[in-house]
């Protein structure tokens, strides 16, 4: 069967994956209200297309923290790719390399950050959790820098793990990360405070992005702590159920930040028109999580590449139909909230 869109990949992945693995990838927390809201908001927002512009070619190229990208689409950090493919994140990164965009490697990946870098021929960002034992964080940061990762993405929306009831029912326990040897003490994530951001900022020369901000208030404090970028996110509906979607939070954050750092958004991006809507509301680029896992499950690296190529070509078509030959032409007037 040929897969013509992300939904086709999603269905195929569900048929292929162990049910408990599918649930781990697809699920959210509690009643999955936020998980559904992440999709619903994109259906709700409508476009105001402009006509009679020369859209013979539409240019999707951009930069993220100075790195040139073929499309404003970046791979979000997701854990445990070995549930989808025996080569895990190494296979994923080969597909992302074909597409030529940035992959964010999760700190709880099933392949080590060095193995992922070895398999990659595309720029990488490293997603960080901070653990009780500070030496683990220091060690991860140093390894990421030495291996050529270009930015650190600190995830701040997991002071505790969300209540994932599908996983409880399945008695699903996530596998250990390949990045470090875990024991009961170090496995505990620290409940972070802004002091940790100051500490982290002083530890690494790499650009620092904060992932998991949903309010203008926190965006301002993040700026005061010298972050280089903000990823507006509710963790794919896997943490606080009832939290607003990233897309809904985006406008107030864009307004508060007023161009002082780059702003990204994730959650529910499944179509080129979704990317267009996020950019119209002020995102520099979007991150995609689950669709990459569906591509990986169904066709390994080619599936991952295809997912990214689908999003890119759908975005290019949407730009043409909206009268936007460049990404700069995508402005707030394009959407009706």
User: CB of 325: closest distance to ligand FNR in angstroms?
Assistant: 27
User: CB of 61: closest distance to ligand FNR in angstroms?
Assistant: 22
- Report how far residue 176's alpha carbon sits from residue 320's, in angstroms, rounded to the nearest whole number: 45
Binder of ligand FNR out of 34, 38, 60, 245 (CB under 6 A)? 38
β-bridge partners, 209: 153, 229
Q: Is 228 in contact with 261 (CB distance < 8 Å)? A: yes
- Report how far residue 30's alpha carbon sits from residue 328's, in angstroms, rounded to the nearest whole number: 39
Alpha helices in 225-289 (DSSP H): 246-257, 272-280
Is 164 marked as binding a ligand? yes
Nearer to ligand FNR, 120 or 152 (CB): 152
- Report how far residue 104's alpha carbon sits from residue 111's, in angstroms, rounded to the nearest whole number: 13
- 78 lines the binding site for ligand FNR (CB under 6 A): yes
User: CB of 2: closest distance to ligand FNR in angstroms?
Assistant: 23
90 to 25, 70, 176: CA distances (angstroms): 18, 21, 17
Binder of ligand FNR out of 155, 204, 245, 301 (CB under 6 A)? 155
Sign of the torsion angle spanned by Cα atoms 47, 50, 56, 62: negative
- 154 lines the binding site for ligand FNR (CB under 6 A): no
Respond yes or no: is residue 235 known to be catalytic: yes
CA Rg value for the chain: 19
- 277 lines the binding site for ligand FNR (CB under 6 A): no
- 230 lines the binding site for ligand FNR (CB under 6 A): no
User: CB of 137: closest distance to ligand FNR in angstroms?
Assistant: 14
- Report how far residue 268's alpha carbon sits from residue 136's, in angstroms, rounded to the nearest whole number: 32
- 266 lines the binding site for ligand FNR (CB under 6 A): yes
Q: Active-site residue among 3, 81, 235, 306?
A: 235
- Report how far residue 174's alpha carbon sits from residue 19's, in angstroms, rounded to the nearest whole number: 14
Q: Which of helix, strand or coil describes residue 113?
A: helix
Helix, strand, coil proportions of the chain in percent (round to 5)?
A: 45, 15, 40
Binder of ligand FNR out of 123, 268, 295, 303 (CB under 6 A)? 268
Q: Is 13 in contact with 83 (CB distance < 8 Å)? A: no
Is 306 marked as binding a ligand? no
Is 238 marked as binding a ligand? yes
Binder of ligand FNR out of 85, 211, 271, 299 (CB under 6 A)? 211
Comparing C-alpha atoms, which of 337, 333, 325, 320 is closest to residue 273?
A: 320
Q: Are strands 46-47 and 67-69 parallel, antiparallel or unpaired?
A: unpaired
Binder of ligand FNR out of 162, 267, 272, 295 (CB under 6 A)? 267
* Angle between helices 33-44 and 272-280 in degrees, nearest 10: 80
Is 28 marked as binding a ligand? no
- 151 lines the binding site for ligand FNR (CB under 6 A): no
- Report how far residue 198's alpha carbon sits from residue 195's, in angstroms, rounded to the nearest whole number: 5
- What's the token pair of residue 27? 């699920």
- 241 lines the binding site for ligand FNR (CB under 6 A): no
- What's the token pair of residue 195? 């002091």
Is 147 marked as binding a ligand? no
- x/- map, 103-122, ligand FNR, by CB under 6 A: ---x-x--------------
Is 127 marked as binding a ligand? yes
Region 283-312 residues binding ligand FNR, contact defined as CB under 6 A: 288-290
Binding residues for FMN: 77-79, 106, 127, 155, 211, 233, 266-270, 289-290
Binding residues for glyoxylate: 24, 129, 164, 235, 238
Binding residues: 24, 77-79, 106, 127, 129, 155, 164, 211, 233, 235, 238, 266-270, 289-290
Positions in the binding site for ligand FNR (CB under 6 A)? 25, 38, 76-79, 106, 108, 127, 155, 211, 233, 235-236, 238, 266-269, 288-290
Active site positions, annotated: 235
């Amino acid at each position: 069967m040929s897969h013509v869109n992300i939904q086709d990949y999603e269905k195929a992945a569900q048929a292929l994956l162990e049910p408990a693995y599918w649930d781990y990838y697809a699920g959210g927390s509690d009643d999955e209200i936020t998980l559904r809201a992440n999709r619903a908001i994109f259906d709700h927002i409508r476009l105001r297309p402009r006509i009679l512009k020369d859209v013979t070619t539409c240019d999707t190229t951009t930069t993220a923290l100075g790195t040139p990208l073929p499309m404003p689409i970046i791979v979000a950090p997701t854990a445990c790719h070995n549930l989808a493919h025996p080569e895990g994140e190494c296979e994923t990164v080969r597909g992302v390399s074909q597409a030529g965009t940035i992959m964010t490697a999760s700190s709880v990946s099933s392949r080590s950050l060095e193995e992922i870098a070895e398999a990659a021929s595309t720029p990488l960002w490293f997603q960080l959790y901070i653990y009780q034992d500070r030496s683990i964080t220091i060690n991860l940061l140093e390894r990421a820098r030495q291996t050529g990762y270009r930015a650190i993405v600190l995830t701040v929306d997991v002071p505790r793990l969300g209540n994932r009831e599908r996983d409880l029912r399945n008695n699903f326990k996530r596998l250990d990360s390949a990045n470090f040897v875990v024991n009961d003490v170090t496995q505990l994530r620290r409940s972070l405070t802004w002091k940790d951001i100051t500490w982290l900022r002083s530890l690494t020369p790499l650009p620092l992005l904060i992932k998991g901000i949903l309010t203008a208030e926190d965006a301002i404090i993040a700026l005061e702590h010298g972050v280089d970028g903000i990823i507006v996110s509710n963790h794919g509906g896997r943490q606080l159920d009832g939290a607003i979607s990233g897309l809904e939070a985006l406008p107030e954050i864009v307004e508060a930040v007023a161009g002082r750092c780059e702003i990204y958004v994730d959650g529910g991006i499944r179509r080129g028109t979704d990317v267009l809507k996020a950019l119209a509301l002020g995102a520099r680029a979007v991150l995609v999580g689950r669709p990459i896992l569906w591509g990986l499950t169904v066709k390994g690296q080619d599936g991952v590449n295809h997912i990214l190529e689908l999003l890119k070509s759908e975005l290019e078509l949407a730009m043409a139909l909206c009268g936007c030959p460049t990404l700069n032409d995508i402005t707030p007037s394009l959407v009706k909230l």
